[in-house]
Structures are given as C-alpha cells and as structure tokens.
Amino acid sequence: MYLSNRITGLTGNDGDGWGLFLRAREMIAAGEDVIELTIGEHDISTSHIILGEMDRSARGGHTGYAMVPGVTALRDAVAARVEARTGVTTTRDNVLITPGGQAGLFATHAAVCDPGDRALYIDPYYATYPGTIRGASAFPVSVEARAQDGFQPHAEAIAAAAPDAKSLLINSPNNPTGVVYSHETLEGIAGVIKAQDMWLISDEVYDTQVWEGEHLSPRALPGMKERTLVVGSMSKSHAMTGSRVGWVVGPEEAIGHMIDLATHTTYGVAGFIQDAALFALEQGAPLEEEVSAPFRRRRQQARTAIAAQNVVRLVPAQGAMYLMLDIRATGMSGEDFGYALLEAEKIAVMPGESFGKAAAGHIRVAMTVNDDAFGQAFARLLAFAAEKAQTREGAA
Ligand code: PLP
C-alpha cells in the first residue's frame, strides 16, 4: 500500500544521524557494558515530589480530557514565569501547553509556514529540526554557524538566506554546541527578522542550564514580541522528559492558530501531567538548580581534564547538558572517531556530523552519567584521542 512522501521523506537524504546511537543500543542489548554519553536524558528520574503530585492529581480524578490550550493555572504559571524572566508582559492568552517542546516545534512551524515555504534553521542543529520542518510541509534551509566563530550565527549569513523565508528557528542555550548566543548575536538576528518581516522561533528548552553569562530571550528585544514564538519545556529543566509537557509562548493570534491545530492533532496534554508541571514550576529556582547542578559540576570536571592536554579542544560551552569537542587533531571525522571510540572503549558519544555539516570533526558528549563514571569516561576519551593523534603524527 502507498505510504505518504511526507513521512518517508521526513529525514531527507542525510539520514537522521542516529546510527551510532542505535549501534550503542544494540551493543547494550547484547550485554556489553557501554557508557552512554549520547542523548539528552538526565541520569536522575523525575523528582518524587513531582510524581507525588501527579499521583494525587490522577487519583483525585484529573484523568479526563483536559482543556486543549492547557489547564488555566498552568498557562498562568508559565506566563508569570516568562514575564518574570524576560520583563515582557505575558498572559495565559500568550501560552499554549504542548506535549513537550518537540510538539511545540512542530506547531510553531505549522502555524507560520504554508506548504513549500522556506523555513530557516541554524546548523549545527538539534537532530529533529529539518524533519520537523518537513513534517509541517515547509522546506528546511540551513544557515551555518561556523566553528571558527564559536558557533555564534552571523546576521549576514541569515540575511543572505532570508529573502522569501517565513521563519528562522534558533536554539540558545544550544544543543549540540553548548553555546549561549550573545546579545550581539541575538540583536543581529532580530534585525534580520524585522527587516525581512519573518517569524523567529526561539527554542529555549535549556534556559535553566546556563553556566556562564546570561540567557536572553529574543522575545524581549524591541519589536520582537509580535514576531517571536518561544518553545519551552519541562523536560530538561525538571527532568520530566517522559511526561511530555512543554509550551509555546507568542502573540495571542498565533497561539489561537496553534490551539486550532492542537484541537485536531494532540487534543491537549493529560491533566495530571499538567498539574504535576504546575507543582514543579511552583517549587521555583531551587528545584531547577538541583536538576541542573550535576551538569555544572561535570562541565567543570571536563574543563579541568581538557586543560591538562592539548589534543582535544572544548568549544567554549556556556550552557546545556552537552560538551562539543573538536577532535580534528586526531585527523578523524567525528563519525569515524565516534565509532572507533565505541568499539575500542565502549563509550558512546554523538558524532558532530549527526548535527549538520558545521559540526564536522567534532563530537558531542552528553554529561548524563554520574560524576565518577563521567570523569572516568572523559579521561578515557581524552587518552584515546591522544593515542589517535600520536598515531597520525607517527604516520606523517
Ligand atoms: N529542542 C532541543 C534543542 C532539544 O535538545 C530537545 C530534546 O532533546 C527538544 C527541543 C525537545 O524536547 P522535549 O520534546 O522533550 O521538550
């Protein structure tokens, strides 16, 4: 039977970048002891106090259909959180609760792009971006943020791709690079967005994981709240990846448009999950800090280890739960290095090439195992790179 091109063509010609990850999972299933530093999944579970609230809500009867735009109290809480963090007036009418940030990425593109419209995104990118844009029937166009610029995108490069584009998707703090976009970068982007009359889709799911500097939401820049859709999520901030709860914040009319979409697709998010998310937000910064603290510690561990050698270079990582390592001194591609590391050391990382062309010659390390295991794995990774670099020098 015929199956739609929309879905068979979702990943394009480049594959979906998950080959090494799947190989690691196969090895684990075969009983091998692989250390997984691949996906953005915490090594802790959702806090028991959040689960307690989920249980209380479900047993209390919040198991029927919830309101499609989201439970009013949660929409209010998200609006208050966003307003407190950005200074931009935000009400529940600016908020749609979604089943995770991923659904928000789809809804935003579906809301602002018609079939075939050009939708820009920055390379390196979170693996689902181009497929999500295709899923919304738009045409993904990548704009490179270069390694030599510290992976900060340039306004000129965006402007060159912008004519006729409907939207630009950015992500700061960034997955996979760990880079937090500077004020200058965001102001440059905002300038292009306004000049070209485009939408900015700002994926801010790592906004509680900032290790240096500060996170600026571009919605707070002058003239941007009318044309910015912010994607947020409880997945990373509260270790609630499996709960599938996030949001989109934007102008009321665009949110109304996405509520219509939600009515015909997701039909909202489970009420007991939303109650748990509300409870989690009400715990404020201390809970968010507790969830992000392990990544801050491990980043410091990695920086100390990196400083003691000169083969692997760390892309200055100011945020998110990942480190992007430049392994070009080994003479290997990120992909070859990743597979060789997996076979030799049983350590799984993501090749930079999984995240686009701009991250070639890099690997992404997720800091998602306990401190001891992380420290040991990181030391082995560096020793492996040193050995490869030496072999290369010997051959030269
Ligand atoms: N955006 C980025 C940059 C991500 O890294 C992820 C998940 O890893 C998501 C969005 C989607 O997260 P979720 O759907 O769990 O909120």
Instruction: Compute the distance between CA of residue 196 and CA of residue 161 in angstroms, rounded to an integer.
Output: 10
Q: Which CATH superfamily is domain 5-45+288-388 in?
A: Aspartate Aminotransferase, domain 1 (3.90.1150.10)
Instruction: Compute the distance between CA of residue 205 and CA of residue 299 in angstroms, rounded to an integer.
Output: 19
pLDDT reading at 17 higher than 80: no
CB of 250 closer than 8 Å to CB of 92: no
Res 60: pLDDT: 98
Res 195: pLDDT: 97
**What is the CATH code of the structural domain delimited by 48-285?**
3.40.640.10
Res 168: pLDDT: 98
Res 16: pLDDT: 63
Q: Which pLDDT band holds residue 1 (cuts at 50, 70, 90)? A: very high
pLDDT tens-digit readout, 187-223: 999 999 999 999 999 999 999 999 998 999 999 999 9
Q: Which residues line ligand 1 (CB under 6 A)?
A: 40, 100-102, 126, 171, 175, 203, 205, 233, 235, 241, 246
pLDDT tens-digit readout, 19-36: 899 999 999 999 999 999
pLDDT tens-digit readout, 98-136: 999 999 999 999 999 999 999 999 999 999 999 999 999
Q: Name the closest-CA residue to atom 7, ligand 1.
A: 40
The residue whose CB lies within 8 Å of the most ligand 1 atoms, and thus the one to mutate among 233, 321, 350, 354, is 233
Q: What is the position in ligand 1's atom list of the atom closest to the CA of 245?
A: 16
The residue whose CB lies within 8 Å of the most ligand 1 atoms, and thus the one to mutate among 177, 236, 322, 354, is 236
The residue whose CB lies within 8 Å of the most ligand 1 atoms, and thus the one to mutate among 133, 172, 175, is 175
Q: Quick check: do 5-45+288-388 and 48-285 share a fold?
A: no
Tell me the average pLDDT across 268-288.
98
Q: What is the position in ligand 1's atom list of the atom closest to the CA of 99?
A: 14
Q: pTM for this structure?
A: 0.96
Cα–Cα distance list, 361 to 18, 170, 331, 349, 350 (Å)? 17, 22, 8, 13, 11
Instruction: Compute the distance between CA of residue 323 and CA of residue 176 in angstroms, rounded to an integer.
Output: 8
CB atoms within 10 A of CB 366: 25
Q: What is the position in ligand 1's atom list of the atom closest to the CA of 320?
A: 5
All structural domains of the chain with their residue ranges:
5-45+288-388, 48-285
Ligand 1 centroid to Cα of residue 394, in Å, is 42
Q: Which pLDDT band holds residue 393 (cuts at 50, 70, 90)? A: confident
Ligand 1 centroid to Cα of residue 219, in Å, is 19
Is residue 264 packed enough to be buried (19+ CB in 10 Å), middle (13-18) or exposed (0-12)? exposed
Q: What is the position in ligand 1's atom list of the atom closest to the CA of 174?
A: 3
